Amino acid sequence: MQKTNPIVTVICTCFNHRDFIKIALDSVLNQSYKNIELLIIDDCSKDDSVQIIKHWIDDNNFGTLIKNKNNLGLTKSFNNAVLKSKGDYLIDLAADDELLPHCIALQISVFNAYKTEKIGIVYGNASVINKSTDEKYVFFNRFSQEKMASSPKDGFIYKELIDHSNTICSVSAMIKRNVFMALGGYDERLIYEDYDFWLRLARTYYILYVDEVLVNRIKLENSLGSLNYKGIDKKNYKFKQATYMAVKKTLAMNKNKEEDQATMRKILLEIKVNIKILNLQLLLKYTVLLLNILLIRQRFKTTTF
């Protein structure tokens, strides 16, 4: 039976975010929902983020600081923090994002309204501020003239996530803890976690969308979300490699011809991207993946793609 007032653990990961960390922490403190555990990870910041965090904890008597001895990256830092946490639900909060005051209360009310263990994630919309251009927009714009492919999805949406990774607004997500643990947490080999994790979760669990802006997201020039269509450097390559590994996993997870077709469309899209940026190594990997899916397409008695 679901608890009506469960503990929600917010895990805030910080790396050189001195200019934003206090706003992120204040947004947790100012939630209308109060049964919150706050864990703040500093992943070996080189600025004075740690001092700011310590002062904030002392001033508010709230939150626990976890200082990594080595820079572990987001996925491993978050997994480690989950093992130390007590919450029934988890929020992965970047140190440059801000939860709106009603965020957690609304997500908990949605979880409580559905009497099923199959719900894995409740997510919503986000207001995005691009610090490089000062552009402001809503992640899912209901008045947009763009194709519906970019609109939010909910339900059993595994196939849709393969096709349209841009339907994920991971910054606004609350994850059920037992689902996170059942899936083995984030894949620590990956530089970014959301596409891979959401695919694995969507294979088995239901995802619910709330049509409310829940988060203010600051989009920095070098944030992971800005890397997908940039040229090659070490960090960008790791980002694109994480996408490749997530797509590759779908070959083992797919259960019907429609899902295989979605994987093939995603592969073709990534081939175009990697041709554009001259990423020959990943271009070769995706080409091999494409050949593999063509060879095994008869496994579901599929017709031609």
Chain position carrying tokens 């009497």: 115
Domain ranges of the chain: 8-226, 234-300
66 within 8 A of 79, measured Cβ to Cβ:
no
Q: pLDDT of 42-67, one tens digit each?
A: 999 999 999 999 999 999 999 999 99
29 within 8 A of 90, measured Cβ to Cβ:
no
Strands (DSSP E) contained in 15-131 are 36-42, 64-67, 89-94, 97-99, 119-130
Tell me the CB-side half-sphere exposure of residue 269, using CA atoms within 13 A.
Answer: 17
Q: pLDDT of 163-199, one tens digit each?
A: 887 677 899 999 999 999 999 999 999 988 899 999 9
Categorize the per-residue pLDDT at 142 as very low, low, confident or very high, splitting at 50, 70 and 90.
Answer: low
State the chain's mean pLDDT as an integer.
89
Write down the pLDDT at residue 2. Answer: 67
The bridge status of strand 206-219 relative to strand 97-99 is: antiparallel
The pTM of the full predicted model, rounded to 2 decimals, is: 0.90
CATH class of 8-226: alpha beta
